[in-house]
């Protein structure tokens, strides 16, 4: 049984003549095209020289400052932040679910849906205060 080159779903039977189908739907054809035409990953910053040690130190300093600030914030604010982060995470799962093969896609999509449902159930409209 031929299957979709993008999502792996079984393809509908071929319509007589013409090129055999490679995708189950227009959405899958488009997704495959998008990936084919996407740039080969980010080439990195356009600089001749990067002082990696300095960059690492600066990054660690920034992370540490961020951590201290986050810990110092009132718990209610920290909760608001966690809700925000969970929303971002849900979006990440949702967007990845469109780009990974189907055995993983439905899982990623399920997580996105479940997290969003939990957020809207317990934190309507981003409300984090009692
Ligand atoms: Zn497909």
Q: What is the pLDDT of residues 66-116, one digit of tens each?
A: 888 777 888 888 898 899 999 999 999 999 999 999 999 999 999 999 999
Ligand 1 mean position to 34 CA, how many Å? 14
Ligand 1 mean position to 103 CA, how many Å? 12
Ligand 1 mean position to 1 CA, how many Å? 14
**pTM for this entry:** 0.45
Length of the chain as a residue count? 130
Query: How would residue 65 be classed by pLDDT, with cut points 50, 70 and 90?
Result: confident
Degrees to nearest 5, angle at CA 54 with 50 and 58: 120
pLDDT of residue 2: 82
Ligand 1 mean position to 123 CA, how many Å? 35
The pocket of ion ligand 1, defined by CB under 5 A, consists of 4, 6-7, 9, 24, 28
Ligand 1 mean position to 79 CA, how many Å? 39
Contact status, residue 40 vs residue 25, Cβ threshold 8 Å = no
More confident residue, 127 or 112: 112
Q: Name which of 44-48, 111-115, 120-124 the model is least confident about.
A: 44-48
Residue 6 burial (CB < 10 Å; 0-12/13-18/19+)? buried
Ligand 1 mean position to 85 CA, how many Å? 31
The structure tokens listed for 96 are 């990845």
78 backbone dihedrals φ, ψ, rounded to 5°: -60, -40
Ligand 1 mean position to 24 CA, how many Å? 4
């Amino acid at each position: 049984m031929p299957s979709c080159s993008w999502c792996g779903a079984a393809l509908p039977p071929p319509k007589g003549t013409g090129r055999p189908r490679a995708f189950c739907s227009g959405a899958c054809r488009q997704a495959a095209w998008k990936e084919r035409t996407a740039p080969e990953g980010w080439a990195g910053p356009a600089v001749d020289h990067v002082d990696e040690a300095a960059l690492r130190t600066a990054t660690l300093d920034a992370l540490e400052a961020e951590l201290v600030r986050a810990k110092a914030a009132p718990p209610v604010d920290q909760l608001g932040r966690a809700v925000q982060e969970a929303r971002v995470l849900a979006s990440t799962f949702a967007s990845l679910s469109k780009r990974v093969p189907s055995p993983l896609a439905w899982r990623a999509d399920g997580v996105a849906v479940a997290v969003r449902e939990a957020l809207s159930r317990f934190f309507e409209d981003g409300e984090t205060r009692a």
